[in-house]
Structure 1
Amino acid sequence: MLPGKDRAARRVLLVCMAAGATTLLDQAVLNIAVPSMRHALGADAADVRWIVAGYSLAFGLALVPGGSLGDLYGRKRFLLAGVAAFLLAGVAAATGGGPGTLIAARLVQGAAAGLVNSQVIGTLQDVFHGLDRGRALGLYAVTAGVATALGPPLGGALVAGVGPELGWRGCLLLNVPCALLTLALAARRLPPPRRTTRDARLDLIGLALACGCTVTLMVPFIRTPGSWEEALLWAAAVGAQAAALTVHQRLRLRRGRRPLLHPALSSSKPYMLGTGIAMAQFGASLASSLVLTVFLQEGLGLSALLTAAVALPSALAMGVSSALAWRLVRRIGTRTVTLGLALGIGAALSGAAVVLTVPSALLPVACAAVQLLTGAAAGLTVSPHQTQVLRHAPAEAAGVGGAVLQMAQRIAAAICLSAVPAVYLHAAPTAPGGSGPRAAYALASGVCAGLLAVALVLSRLRGAAAADDVNAARGRATCPTDTSAGRLPAAPVRTEQRSEA
């Protein structure tokens, strides 16, 4: 698996992969069971939005606190607590009798998943370094692809086999054996808790401001504002909280106290640009997948199971290309991400061309072929890019660095999952099989291609900024008298840049 690492490190990677599969499989299975769940519970459209998007809201909300707590007090105990809470909330959701119970349980599950994933990213940062870190993150991405691939077929088979009433409940219970296995592995295989930072004082005010800003930013994309005045009020609230967080972090840093967001993160241009790339790519990927599902079921009239079969090649291709991406990184370095983004743009435009030209009888097969290309592009992008971004996070902020990256992705997901499907639904008529849904899907695919084009531009800028950092670090290495604390975090960047080149 990772020939350069010892057995203990490989066991840690296995635990991280199991933890990721537990949370990702649950979300993938539930998405395919939403229609039957809605009819069984009598849930309205607002309930469904909170059941689906509330999970992402709570997920994003828990990431930064989870990363900070892991950095301060060790990761093992929080990963175990998160998996246990995820398990119990899943049982509560599956046995609930109404939409309110399910919404509350899914919010708890999302928060628990955010706590777990922030520890997973921090653990991989702690245990693996250089090229081994890239391979570990690649294998973690393979796990994500496999879980995403298995989710829709399993969900569709359960709903079709046992009926709508029990099928969606069975989908929510699929995480139980996965969570139990993860708990057993984590308790035995993870290293004992240890701090990665000396300052044990948690920035509670910064934590509250960050959580409030995240909620204020994401809620309008779950609950659509009723007027322009309400939308402007939400935007003003986000701006005020973001400004307050920025001022608080600077004041805390001037007083010599550790801020919630490590200064090495906000001052690193490659890290900030890389976070922007991740937001554009992640949002485009999720929005494209959702629009494809709506187009196949409502635009072409396909069943849920056949829709899952069309989307399956994307997940499989992503898993394979993620496993092999580190070989390409060894040859061409950071240009691997640029190549993956360019391939993703080509896949999005190809999907638009296919739905506009291919006859209806052959369209599912053609869409599956395009999904193969889409998955391969995502596999070349996600894990190499994640490795490049997190390389700029210092060891004492590894958990927060990974958490901020994932939180930014969740915010992008909330925005894109609201905006891009709205473009499709606005342009597509309700009657299936006509030219309207095809044109609407092509338009939505063009929007996703535009998001990936933005990510491509940012990728080129990030490459230039990273090269500048490496050159500056080499220059400081020749000046032994230059030992200022503000310049010390650049040294690991230089070392790992060489190992991946």
Structure 2
Amino acid sequence: MPIPTEPPPTGRDHRWQALAVCLVAGFMTLLDVSIVNVALPSIRSGLRMSESGLQWILSGYALTFGLALVPAGRLGDARSRRGVFMTGLALFTATSALAGAAQSEAWLVGARLLQGMAGGLLVPQVSGFIQQLFRGAERGKAFGLLGATIGLSTAVGPLLGGLLIEAFGAEQGWRWVFYVNLPIGLLTLPLAMRLLPPPPAREAAERRRGDFDPLGVLLLGLGTVLLLLPFVQEQQWPGAAKWLLVPASAVLLAAFVLWERRYARHGEPLVNMRLFEARSFSLGTLLSLVYFAGFTAIFFIFTLYLQNGLHYSALAAGLAITPFALGSGVAAAIGGRVVSRFGRPLVAAGLVLVVLGLAAAAVAVHLWSGPSVGWTTLGPLLVAGIGSGLVISPNQTLTLSEVPVSRAGSAGGVLQTAQRIGSAVGIAAVGSVFFSRVASDGGDWAGAFEWGLAVAVGFILLALLTTLLDIFGGARADRLPIPLPARAGDRTGDRS
């Protein structure tokens, strides 16, 4: 879909510097999703953690991160993106210090819950600022840099975590996985104050009078937690009773949709359901959900295979994933620049490359499953990473292309919530297959990785099908944006 080419906004001479501040902060919060994986053995030995505690270090962060995204996006839209961004950044820096100083299991788990909430406050403001500060092809470039940040943060986490543990030792190295955020946060806060724009003065009064839909926040929050909890606790919560939370979450989320439609008659809801009438937004959000289900799970099982199956060190396991990170980062930046020319077919091409690269990685593991597997998967992972870079940032640009700036934060929160739900579902599904194959095949880690990779590729093929539906589904790709109801203070020039 061609992206409208509006003139760049005026009064934003420092918008690229402001974007750099947003990307640094966003990188820091997203990095903490993946960097902790390789630190788990160090945390276990340093704090004598239980299996349940280790799981909550990962799942607790994911839960509170996902819980905060949409309300934080709406709060930034309704009040001040800069204020919410700086609050989230300050809290994330403080909770990182709290996590690094942990002296017990409960202390660290509690710090991770707070850290996830702070990250969820901050991240939706990044896409909101991109919508606010950039137009046309420049917006595509900005989202390209954001896509590179997402890809790099996911893939570089294990490498950086391995380096820190190697440098500071297995007993205490895990603390520096959290302490590394302190200098970044302390340097970024004053830059954010200086460079991020406040709400325009003529909109500030209207924003202060804006409502916040508390019942919508409650329904969405409970529904999201009940949906995510059985997936993030899949390995630690035995029995089938946990899956009863899924239909319960469906009831709450259906109630949320009905309430939002009703609330929209007299106020600005948490999520305006008319956003989903835009084909670009609805299909792009679905694509994000299923793609992240496969994309994130790959790193989860590959790290386990290398460290537990082949006894790679944390550093060596991180290095093995680096080709994907490099390919993803470079391709995302390029994809953001050319998405306005190629539209959804660019995303489809990226997904094909991801499938081909992962299939080649599976063949490499099948033929050479010994200690040299990190070398044999280098080329396939590079190809898959290039493909991933052509998926994430172009899809984000296209998905948000019809969203008014006044709803950019809440729409970005919805998109990122879909990514978090997809990640949780994918890790649970792929991890279940992976662990069951390890148990049934007597420790055949290579075979388990191949089966898990097959499930991950299945999710990516679903993402490809979703993209093809958008391309060939019968709606014109060059149609005008759907006219969403405007708030007081919205302007025609704010519509992307």
Matched, 1:385 2:391: no
Alignment gaps of 5+ in structure 2: 1-7
2:453 alignment partner in structure 1: 445
1:190 alignment partner in structure 2: 196
1:227 alignment partner in structure 2: 239
Secondary structure, counterpart of 1:259 in structure 2: coil
2:255 alignment partner in structure 1: 244
Alignment partner of 1:208 out of 200, 218, 231? 218
Letter in 1 for 2:239: S
1:307 alignment partner in structure 2: 317
Alignment partner of 1:459 out of 455, 467, 470? 467
- Taking structure 1 as reference, are residues 261 and 403 closer, same or farther at Cα in structure 2, changes over 3 Å only? same
Matched, 1:176 2:175: no
Mapped contact 1:21–1:147 kept (Cα < 8 A): yes
Q: Matched residues, percent identical? A: 34
Letter in 2 for 1:172: F
Structure 1 position 232, deviation (Å): 4.8
In the alignment, the residues of structure 2 paired with residue 466 and residue 188 of structure 1 have an alpha-carbon distance, to the nearest angstrom, of: 47
Structure 1 position 191, deviation (Å): 0.7
Matched, 1:38 2:44: yes
Mapped contact 1:264–1:394 kept (Cα < 8 A): no
Structure 1 position 153, deviation (Å): 3.2
Mapped contact 1:270–1:463 kept (Cα < 8 A): no
Alignment partner of 2:160 out of 136, 142, 154? 154
Mapped contact 1:264–1:393 kept (Cα < 8 A): no
Secondary structure, counterpart of 1:91 in structure 2: helix
In the alignment, the residues of structure 1 paired with residue 492 and residue 344 of structure 2 have an alpha-carbon distance, to the nearest angstrom, of: 17
Q: Encode CA deviations 1:134-173: one digit per residue, 9 max, x unaligned.
A: 1001112223344445533332233223322321112210
Q: Encode CA deviations 1:101-152: one digit per residue, 9 max, x unaligned.
A: 1111111111111110011111111111221111001112223344445533
Between 22-31 and 77-86, the greater mean CA deviation after superposition: 22-31
Secondary structure, counterpart of 2:264 in structure 1: helix
- Taking structure 1 as reference, are residues 33 and 468 closer, same or farther at Cα in structure 2, changes over 3 Å only? same
Secondary structure, counterpart of 2:476 in structure 1: helix
Structure 1 position 10, deviation (Å): 1.1
Whose helix fraction is larger, Structure 1's or Structure 2's? 1
- Taking structure 1 as reference, are residues 92 and 484 closer, same or farther at Cα in structure 2, changes over 3 Å only? closer
Structure 1 position 73, deviation (Å): 0.5
In the alignment, the residues of structure 2 paired with residue 446 and residue 384 of structure 1 have an alpha-carbon distance, to the nearest angstrom, of: 25
Matched, 1:17 2:27: no
Alignment partner of 1:326 out of 324, 327, 336? 336
TM-score using structure 1 length: 0.89
In the alignment, the residues of structure 2 paired with residue 140 and residue 296 of structure 1 have an alpha-carbon distance, to the nearest angstrom, of: 29
Mapped contact 2:141–2:337 kept (Cα < 8 A): no
- Taking structure 1 as reference, are residues 280 and 150 closer, same or farther at Cα in structure 2, changes over 3 Å only? closer
TM-score using structure 2 length: 0.90
2:4 alignment partner in structure 1: none
Letter in 1 for 2:280: P
Letter in 2 for 1:33: A
Secondary structure, counterpart of 2:431 in structure 1: helix
Alignment partner of 2:107 out of 101, 118, 129? 101
Q: Encode CA deviations 1:343-393: one digit per residue, 9 max, x unaligned.
A: 111112111111111252542201122211121111011000000001122
Q: Encode CA deviations 1:320-364: one digit per residue, 9 max, x unaligned.
A: 111111344354332110000111111121111111112525422
1:51-450 alignment to 2 at 5 Å? 51-148=57-154, 150-194=156-200, 195=203, 200-224=210-234, 225-228=237-240, 230-254=241-265, 256-358=266-368, 360-429=370-439, 436-450=444-458
Secondary structure, counterpart of 1:165 in structure 2: coil
In the alignment, the residues of structure 1 paired with residue 462 and residue 484 of structure 2 have an alpha-carbon distance, to the nearest angstrom, of: 36
In the alignment, the residues of structure 1 paired with residue 371 and residue 88 of structure 2 have an alpha-carbon distance, to the nearest angstrom, of: 46
Q: Encode CA deviations 1:86-114: one digit per residue, 9 max, x unaligned.
A: 11111111111111111111111111111
Letter in 2 for 1:455: A
Structure 1 position 484, deviation (Å): 9.8
Alignment gaps of 5+ in structure 1: 477-482, 497-501
Mapped contact 1:30–1:171 kept (Cα < 8 A): yes
